[in-house]
Structure 1
Amino acid sequence: MIDYEKYDALALADLVRRREVSPKELLHEACKRIDERNPELNAVVWENRELSAQLIEDGLPDGPFCGVPLLVKDSGMPVTGFVSTNGCRFFEGATQTADSELTSRMRKAGFVFAGMTTSPEFGMNITTEARIYGRPTRNPWNLERSAGGSSGGSAAAVAAGIVPMAAASDGAGSIRIPASACGLFGLKPSRGRVPAGPKKGEGLAGLASYHAVSRSVRDSAAMLDALGGADLGAPYAAPTPDNGFLEATRRAPGRLRIGLVETSPNGTPIADECLAAIRETARLCESLGHHVEPTTLPNIEYEQQTGIFKLLIGVSALGAIEARSAILGRQPNRDELEPVTWEAMEYASRCSAFDYSKIVSLAHALGRKHAQHMLGFDVLLTPTLQHPPAPLGTLASPDMTFEGMFAHHAGHISFLSLANAAGVPAMSVPLAWTSDGLPIGSHFLGAFGQEQLLFCLAAQLEIAEPWFDKRPPMALQESPAPARSIQA
């Protein structure tokens, strides 16, 4: 049998095509690692191995990822026959009767669905510690630290070597946060790049995007090739690029104008190691021939930006709960929702149609401000997180309020939500580790529709500063490659 963890997803699919390994063997390798590593991680929360094996028996499409096991997020990613709960006890046992367009495209790409990964309740938090799962999801680099959120289970599973790539989504940083915390590559696509149908036209009024976390840049690019493009009846779509995204990883980006942002948009502090990391990334970019100059994010009132997410997240949770209530014929009991979710529902219930319209207009205005700012740059470079991965329990607590959650998040992820409000692509690239071995991501924002440019740059950085063989202790099969350590 091959050394499973030495290959990315595209390489595993190539081995399947050459008949050097079978899809059944790859599924066995993923399941074996779930058995060995998930008891510590708590990243994979629902499996049906008979159903997964049956997918192989029924015959797999000859897609770019033929035979590769894939884990999908337990929030907004229905797979026929799988249970998906949104991280909420009110949804326990919710078996899905159909794929979404997103998961249908994953199926057509040849993936073998191997299970669901943890998410905070309705994806609200930036740590994955939902009560439905009984215990928190742990970071493979340090089991006392958070894997991030809301795609924390997906990131923990990939970092731990269970699968080479996992599906993820991003409504306010939920791909990039866990990518940074777990030492992975994570790109949030442009608004309208990946379909949200058929049951809805957009997530969070267009602020949410679906994609993946991965160990290699090319896997992420090939996944976006497989997922991208409007589905039937979509209200809008990002422009289709020539030649696709995987092709972009094979060419140089040219000399880029990179704006370096070292000040948080809300004035909250940035840990010394996180600042040192992006400064070193800036020097790396300069060594590759790019022009780097200091700048700031667009002049945007951060409290206004927070208001956008508060209302849209509350409305989204309220809508999901009402839909589930209609199916069950009853309202949730108090112990079936976390306190933050109750408060989010109450907050959304107090908001008017005018409030909602105002918030959507504000998000569109932020997009225009960002577009104007980007006339002077090709990409912006910021920290992904303002601090290294947080200790478990510090970002989620039983007494945290809905308002308090946003105030708490403001000191950790203030660089991330602009990309969602503006609808532009952004990525976290794992280029640094702290002195005690925790990953630190470098965050790049592009202009609308410019994923190809980000993939060009990411592939160049991956060659210059490789990270694929930097693995957390539980995933090491042999002596690790030395990780670049950032000293503040």
Structure 2
Amino acid sequence: MTSLAEQTRWLDVTEQAALVASGEVKAGELVEAAIERVERFDAALGAVPLRYFDQAREADPVGPLAGVPFLVKDLFTDVAGQVCTNGNVALKAQARPASADSPLVARFRAAGLVFAGRTACSEFGTVPAADSAAWGATRNPWDTALSPGGSSGGAAAAVAAGMVPAAHGTDAAGSIRIPASCCGLVGFKPSRTSGQGASAVWDLIGELAVTRSVRDTALLLGIARDDTPVELGVDPGRLRVGLLDTRPDGAPVHADCAEAARSAARLLESLGHHVDPGFPAALGDSTLDGLFAAFWTSGMASVLGELGHQLGREVTEADVEPLNWTLGVLGAEVAAADRQAAIEGVAGFARSVVDWWADHDLLLTPTLAEPPLPSGALGSDPADPLASLGRAQQFAPFTPFANFTGQPAISLPLHTSSAGLPIGVQLVAAPGREDLLLRVAAQVEAAAPGTFRRVPGTRG
């Protein structure tokens, strides 16, 4: 007889919640099934380094999602009674549990989600991988020689492997969308609600989850915003879509990634939408690189300052990985006037990009410029600490701009590489148009159901 862990392994959040609501399964049984799967599958993946199974078993969940198992990213997000290390060796050694939930965690808890553990990420989420000196490597369930992407890579690996139906993620430059692409999942970054133009790195962060279905994304977004979920069955109308299938500077991307975007364009056209080549010209403005560098390095200097506050002592080079130490040192040297110029420059960039949406509804791109990278490809090299950041920018040129502009963006698992690996495509809408973006995503999902699938060897 098939165990409950196997019966529920590939059910999404909506389906698992329905089992409890109907009385067919008890909330605690769903949690126990997820624990069984984590214990069975995570040894090969390293996706869930912090496990809180006893807390999960002791939970008494109520709400529409009562008993649905969930994992929270180990990055700048508190869960009461659980440790958050940010992928950092010093915070791991400190092992101080949080006294209260972060706001989104509190909303998810009130809805009935049960938090069984914390998922792996890169240290401070700096690069789009989920490896760290604190916890080691995290691997992709599609091929364990590959990275799951990141920085929400542990979340994506856990969901793609069937441990849980969805997992929390944060996204400051693509950290939800990138691993969703690498692992064949839905990855959604909401709009920023504080207005156009970022005032600090913290303002770039979108927070939600990686999921197996668009309906789960809409459901979780509704809970996150204490609002009615977007009604997905509404016809979005005939939309004007711009297509970017090269890098913004015109350089080519990997053939599989270009074909993913072109294939998605054909699908959108078959659904009645109008797709033409085109994208905001500001995306190709290389003169902004210096402004972005000042912005990011200043942000890391702030992160290391907060780390010192948490540790109660001065941070040393031994406390952080070489890339982040180097970024922090560079950031500390940025003059206040340069920081302000960077903030103003980013705000101007955001306005010029968003203006393009006056004549368009969506922008379509590959989520990434390459298929999933080998495990360790973005490791921090003490001899050349900044090399991994440069490599990351080559890998993920399409995702960061939506964080600077505050726009909603989603990665959908619509393509497969020549090697059989998932390749995501990204759709970006105007600020505040989550409704339009999710309705189109649901329309695409319904038109291409075979692309939303399980990892190899798990069908049946």
* SS in structure 2 at match of 1:143: coil
> Equivalents in 2 of 1:181, 1:305: separation in Å?
28
The 3 A distance-change label for structure 1 pair 205 and 71 is closer
Map 1:54-69 onto structure 2 (within 5 A).
Answer: 54-56=58-60, 60-62=61-63, 64-69=64-69
2:408 is aligned to 425
Indicate conservation of the 8 Å contact 2:140/2:148, yes or no: yes
* Partner of residue 261 from structure 1, selected from 229, 244, 267: 244
Q: Is 1:358–2:341 an aligned residue pair? A: yes
* SS in structure 1 at match of 2:329: helix
2:125 is aligned to 123
Indicate conservation of the 8 Å contact 2:131/2:138, yes or no: yes
> Equivalents in 1 of 2:83, 2:291: separation in Å?
31
* SS in structure 2 at match of 1:5: coil
> Equivalents in 2 of 1:202, 1:39: separation in Å?
41
The 3 A distance-change label for structure 1 pair 262 and 468 is closer
Indicate conservation of the 8 Å contact 2:322/2:380, yes or no: no
1:340 is aligned to 323
1:212 is aligned to 209
1:236 is aligned to none
Map 1:161-240 onto structure 2 (within 5 A).
Answer: 161-192=162-193, 204-228=201-225
Using the TM superposition, give the Cα deviation of residue 303 of structure 1 relative to its aligned residue in structure 2, in angstroms: 3.8
* SS in structure 1 at match of 2:313: coil
Using the TM superposition, give the Cα deviation of residue 408 of structure 1 relative to its aligned residue in structure 2, in angstroms: 1.7
What amino acid maps onto 2:293 in structure 1?
K
The 3 A distance-change label for structure 1 pair 354 and 423 is same
Q: Is 1:7–2:8 an aligned residue pair? A: no
2:102 is aligned to 100
> Equivalents in 2 of 1:400, 1:212: separation in Å?
35
Question: How far does the alpha carbon of each residue in 1:156-182 deviate from its partner, in whole angstroms, 9 at most, with x for none?
Answer: 100000001000011001111000000
Q: Is 1:251–2:251 an aligned residue pair? A: no
The 3 A distance-change label for structure 1 pair 389 and 40 is same
Indicate conservation of the 8 Å contact 1:89/1:337, yes or no: yes
What amino acid maps onto 1:70 in structure 2?
F
* SS in structure 2 at match of 1:250: coil
Moved more, 263-272 or 17-26: 263-272
2:42 is aligned to 38
Using the TM superposition, give the Cα deviation of residue 83 of structure 1 relative to its aligned residue in structure 2, in angstroms: 0.9
* SS in structure 2 at match of 1:21: coil
Q: Is 1:441–2:439 an aligned residue pair? A: no
1:459 is aligned to 442
Using the TM superposition, give the Cα deviation of residue 302 of structure 1 relative to its aligned residue in structure 2, in angstroms: 4.3
Indicate conservation of the 8 Å contact 1:90/1:332, yes or no: no
Using the TM superposition, give the Cα deviation of residue 304 of structure 1 relative to its aligned residue in structure 2, in angstroms: 4.7
Indicate conservation of the 8 Å contact 2:298/2:339, yes or no: no
What amino acid maps onto 1:189 in structure 2?
P
RMSD (Å), alpha carbons: 2.1
Indicate conservation of the 8 Å contact 2:380/2:388, yes or no: no
Moved more, 161-170 or 97-106: 97-106
Q: Is 1:18–2:29 an aligned residue pair? A: no
Using the TM superposition, give the Cα deviation of residue 204 of structure 1 relative to its aligned residue in structure 2, in angstroms: 1.3
The 3 A distance-change label for structure 1 pair 333 and 364 is closer
Percent identity reads 38
What amino acid maps onto 1:145 in structure 2?
L
2:80 is aligned to 80
Using the TM superposition, give the Cα deviation of residue 366 of structure 1 relative to its aligned residue in structure 2, in angstroms: 1.7
What amino acid maps onto 1:117 in structure 2?
T
TM-score, normalisation: structure 2? 0.93
* SS in structure 2 at match of 1:386: coil
The 3 A distance-change label for structure 1 pair 432 and 142 is same
* Partner of residue 112 from structure 2, selected from 103, 110, 113: 110
> Equivalents in 2 of 1:302, 1:403: separation in Å?
22
What amino acid maps onto 1:222 in structure 2?
L
What amino acid maps onto 1:95 in structure 2?
P
* SS in structure 2 at match of 1:411: helix
> Equivalents in 2 of 1:308, 1:25: separation in Å?
51
What amino acid maps onto 1:462 in structure 2?
E
Using the TM superposition, give the Cα deviation of residue 328 of structure 1 relative to its aligned residue in structure 2, in angstroms: 3.1
Indicate conservation of the 8 Å contact 1:215/1:468, yes or no: no
Using the TM superposition, give the Cα deviation of residue 410 of structure 1 relative to its aligned residue in structure 2, in angstroms: 2.6
> Equivalents in 1 of 2:221, 2:46: separation in Å?
27
The 3 A distance-change label for structure 1 pair 469 and 385 is closer
> Equivalents in 2 of 1:253, 1:169: separation in Å?
27
> Equivalents in 2 of 1:28, 1:304: separation in Å?
53
> Equivalents in 1 of 2:455, 2:327: separation in Å?
36
2:363 is aligned to 380
> Equivalents in 2 of 1:188, 1:202: separation in Å?
18
The 3 A distance-change label for structure 1 pair 306 and 180 is farther
Question: How far does the alpha carbon of each residue in 1:177-231 deviate from its partner, in whole angstroms, 9 at most, with x for none?
Answer: 000000000111111289xxxxxx98715211111110000101111111126xx
Gaps of 5+ in 2: none
* SS in structure 2 at match of 1:116: strand
The 3 A distance-change label for structure 1 pair 464 and 363 is same
What amino acid maps onto 1:43 in structure 2?
A
Q: Report the number of matched residues.
A: 452
The 3 A distance-change label for structure 1 pair 361 and 146 is same
Indicate conservation of the 8 Å contact 1:262/1:296, yes or no: no
* SS in structure 2 at match of 1:299: helix
Question: How far does the alpha carbon of each residue in 1:105-135 deviate from its partner, in whole angstroms, 9 at most, with x for none?
Answer: 11112100110000100000011111111x3
Q: Is 1:154–2:155 an aligned residue pair? A: yes
> Equivalents in 2 of 1:193, 1:6: separation in Å?
36
The 3 A distance-change label for structure 1 pair 28 and 363 is same
